[in-house]
Chains A and B, each alone.
Chain A
Amino acid sequence: MKAEETLDCVGLYCPMPIVHTAKKMKELKTGQVLEILSDDEGIKEDMPNWCKTTGNGFLGIEEEHGVYRVFVKKSK
């Protein structure tokens, strides 16, 4: 999956990936995709739920060697 920006949250635990994602999303334009890297397993549930709460688009998760790559689309 292609993303306009990447946010590295490896080594950070809840709520920090969400905090950084929320901040980063403010810099993006509507329709752009942000890729978030995290090694906190909770991100698999947290990011879809954060998207649901904030109304952003959850595009999917890929896992590579214990690092999750999460794709989120700015919807508004």
Chain B
Amino acid sequence: MANKEKMTLIVYSGEMDKALAAFNLAIGGASSGMEVTMFFTFWGLDVIKRSEGGIKSKGIMRKMLNFVDRGGAKRLPLSRFHMLGMGKWMMKQLMDDINFPQVQDLIALAKELGVEFVACTTSMGMTGISKDAFIPEVDTFAGVATYLARARESKINLFV
């Protein structure tokens, strides 16, 4: 198909349940023959930070921020009932019970289906992190003009 329908998602949130919703939609779109772009910004960057190793940043405030908000697909809290991780643990059991994939599995599946990942460079600048803080699946590091270029051509545009 030469002219595929397009879908864009802004992933603003860094919580597990919201990330699941965003990836569900993106994967559903890609499986329905759409060209999907996910634009990760603000707390959403946590979703695509790599889980291994430390994340470097400069300055005491940014170091503190990245310490309390390390990010990474496996570390995302629940938006409700997180309860210091107990709620998340329970949610994981429920998901396993219905064979539902974890965020890291959905990231791999989305990439396999050709979903484009864009990381917001303004959020990166604010939190003082560089490209090496992210998983290799991120295709593009860009800003609002890139998002708009994709969004103005897309039929479906969502903010999660």
- Check if B24 is an interface residue, CB within 8 A of chain A: yes
- Check if B31 is an interface residue, CB within 8 A of chain A: yes
- Check if B109 is an interface residue, CB within 8 A of chain A: yes
Sorting the interface of chain B by its residue count into under 10, 10 to 19, 20 to 34 or 35 or more gives 10 to 19
Q: Is the interface of A mostly helix, strand, loop or mixed?
A: helix
> Bound state CA distance, A18 and B29, in angstroms?
10
Q: Which residue of B lies closest to A22 (CB)?
A: B31
Q: Which residue of A lies closest to B34 (CB)?
A: A53
Please pick, from A11, A12, A13, A19, the residue contacting B113 in the complex, using a CB distance under 8 A.
Answer: A19
Question: B100 and A15: CB pair below 8 A?
Answer: no
Sorting the interface of chain A by its residue count into under 10, 10 to 19, 20 to 34 or 35 or more gives 10 to 19
Cβ of A21 to closest chain B Cβ, rounded Å: 8
> Bound state CA distance, A21 and B28, in angstroms?
11
Residues of B within 8 A of A18 (CB): 28, 31-32
- Check if B87 is an interface residue, CB within 8 A of chain A: no
- Check if A32 is an interface residue, CB within 8 A of chain B: no
B binding-site residues for A, Cβ under 8 Å: 24, 27-28, 31-33, 98-101, 109, 113
A binding-site residues for B, Cβ under 8 Å: 11-16, 18-19, 21-23, 50, 53-54
